C-alpha cells in the first residue's frame, strides 16, 4: 500500500515538474519573440531614418537653391515696384513743375543786356512760388518744400523778389526777418538764385538790393545777415566786394554735406535817405534823385533864356 502511494506521489510530482518546465519554456519562447519584434522595429526605424537622411542630403542643395532664388525674386520684384513708384512720383513732380507757366529760356547772347532781354526785378506773388522752387531746384543743392516759400510769402510778402524775363522767372531772392532776435529788427537772406542762362548780368546784385530796400523801407531793419559756403568764391565776391557785407564768423558744418559757412552781415547806414530800386536795378538815393531833377530844371531854364 505504501508502494502504491509512493508511486502515485512520484507520478504527481513528475507531472507537476513537467508542466512547470513546459510553462517556463513557453515563457522563454514568448520573451524571445518580443525581443525579435522590438529588434525588427528598431531596424525598420533605423533604415527609415537613414533613407530620409540620404534623401535630404541629395535634395537639400537643390531645394536650398530653389528657396534662395524664390526669395531673391521676391526681393527684386519688391525693389522694382519701389523704384517704379519713386520714378512715377518723380515724373509726376517734374510734370507739375514743367506744367507751370515758366518755360526754359534760350541762352542769351554774350552781348545781351537786361534791357534788351526784357528782364525786370519785381515783388513776387503767389503765382511765382512754383517758378521760384523750380529755379532753386535747378541751381542750388539746398532745396525747400513749397510750403516754406508759401510761409515766407504770407509772413513777409515784400521780401520776396523775382527777376522776370518776359514772363519767365529766371532768379529770385528769399528774405525774412530774424525771428530769434526780439530786441531789434534784423533781416536775413534765406536763399538767392539766378539761372545759369541769365548770369553775368547783375541780376543777383539787383535782387539783393531790392531785398535791402524792402527791409529798410517796409520793416525799418537795422541790418541783414546771410550764410555762404566758404568755397563759393563767386558768392563771396558778390557779398563782400559788391554789396559790402562783412564777415562776422564761421559756422562749422553748417550745410548738410558738412561744409562750413561764413556768417556775413551788412549794417544799413542810419540817417541816409532810403534807397529806391528801379527796374534796371540801379540804386539811387532820393536826395540824389531830387538834386538831379533840380539840376535838369535849371539847365532847361538857361537854354530857354539863351534862345530868347
- 132 and 271 part of one domain: yes
User: Which pLDDT score is estimated for 308?
Assistant: 44
- 242 and 139 part of one domain: yes
The answer as to whether 26 is a domain residue is: no
CATH number at residue 184: 3.40.630.30
- 141 and 215 part of one domain: yes
- 94 and 144 part of one domain: no
- 89 and 137 part of one domain: no
Dist CA 208 CA 106 (whole Å): 24
User: Which pLDDT score is estimated for 50?
Assistant: 85
- 233 and 91 part of one domain: no
Dist CA 147 CA 151 (whole Å): 6
Where b means 16+ CB within 10 Å and e means fewer, 203-230 reads: bbebbbbbbbbbbbeebebbbbbbbbbe
Least confident of 117-121, 227-231, 237-241, 277-281: 277-281
The answer as to whether 8 is a domain residue is: no
- 91 and 124 part of one domain: no
User: Which pLDDT score is estimated for 25?
Assistant: 53
The answer as to whether 107 is a domain residue is: no
- 132 and 192 part of one domain: yes
Provide the domain limits for residue 277.
118-297
- 255 and 176 part of one domain: yes
- Tally of domains in the chain: 2
The answer as to whether 7 is a domain residue is: no
- 48 and 159 part of one domain: no
pLDDT tens-place string over residues 95-152: 766 655 444 444 444 444 555 457 889 999 999 999 999 999 998 888 889 899 999 9
Q: From the CB of residue 133, how many other CB atoms can be counted at a distance below 10 Å?
A: 20
Amino acid at each position: 500500500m505504501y508502494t502504491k502511494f509512493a508511486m502515485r506521489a512520484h507520478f504527481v510530482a513528475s507531472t507537476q515538474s513537467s508542466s512547470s518546465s513546459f510553462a517556463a519554456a513557453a515563457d522563454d519562447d514568448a520573451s524571445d519573440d518580443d525581443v525579435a519584434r522590438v529588434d525588427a522595429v528598431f531596424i525598420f526605424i533605423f533604415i527609415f531614418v537613414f533613407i530620409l537622411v540620404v534623401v535630404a542630403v541629395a535634395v537639400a542643395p537643390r531645394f536650398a537653391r530653389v528657396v534662395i532664388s524664390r526669395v531673391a525674386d521676391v526681393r527684386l520684384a519688391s525693389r522694382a515696384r519701389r523704384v517704379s513708384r519713386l520714378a512715377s512720383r518723380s515724373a509726376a513732380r517734374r510734370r507739375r513743375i514743367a506744367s507751370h507757366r515758366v518755360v526754359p529760356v534760350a541762352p542769351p547772347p554774350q552781348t545781351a543786356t537786361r534791357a534788351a532781354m526784357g528782364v525786370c526785378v519785381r515783388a513776387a506773388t503767389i503765382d511765382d512760388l512754383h517758378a521760384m522752387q523750380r529755379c532753386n531746384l535747378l541751381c542750388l543743392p539746398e532745396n525747400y518744400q513749397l510750403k516754406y516759400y508759401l510761409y515766407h510769402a504770407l509772413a513777409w510778402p515784400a521780401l520776396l523778389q523775382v527777376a522776370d524775363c518776359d514772363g519767365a522767372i529766371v532768379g529770385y531772392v528769399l528774405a525774412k526777418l530774424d525771428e530769434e532776435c526780439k530786441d531789434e529788427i534784423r533781416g536775413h537772406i534765406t536763399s538767392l538764385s539766378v539761372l545759369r542762362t541769365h548770369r553775368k548780368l547783375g541780376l543777383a546784385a539787383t535782387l539783393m538790393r531790392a531785398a535791402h530796400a524792402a527791409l529798410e523801407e517796409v520793416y525799418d531793419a537795422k541790418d541783414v545777415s546771410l550764410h555762404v559756403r566758404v568755397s563759393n568764391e563767386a558768392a563771396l565776391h558778390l557779398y563782400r566786394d559788391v554789396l559790402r557785407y562783412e564777415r562776422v564768423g564761421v559756422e562749422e558744418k553748417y550745410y548738410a554735406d558738412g561744409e562750413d559757412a561764413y556768417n556775413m552781415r551788412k549794417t544799413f547806414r542810419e540817417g541816409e535817405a532810403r534807397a529806391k530800386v528801379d527796374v534796371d536795378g540801379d540804386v539811387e538815393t532820393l536826395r540824389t534823385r531830387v538834386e538831379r531833377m533840380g539840376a535838369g530844371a535849371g539847365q532847361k531854364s538857361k537854354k530857354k533864356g539863351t534862345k530868347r
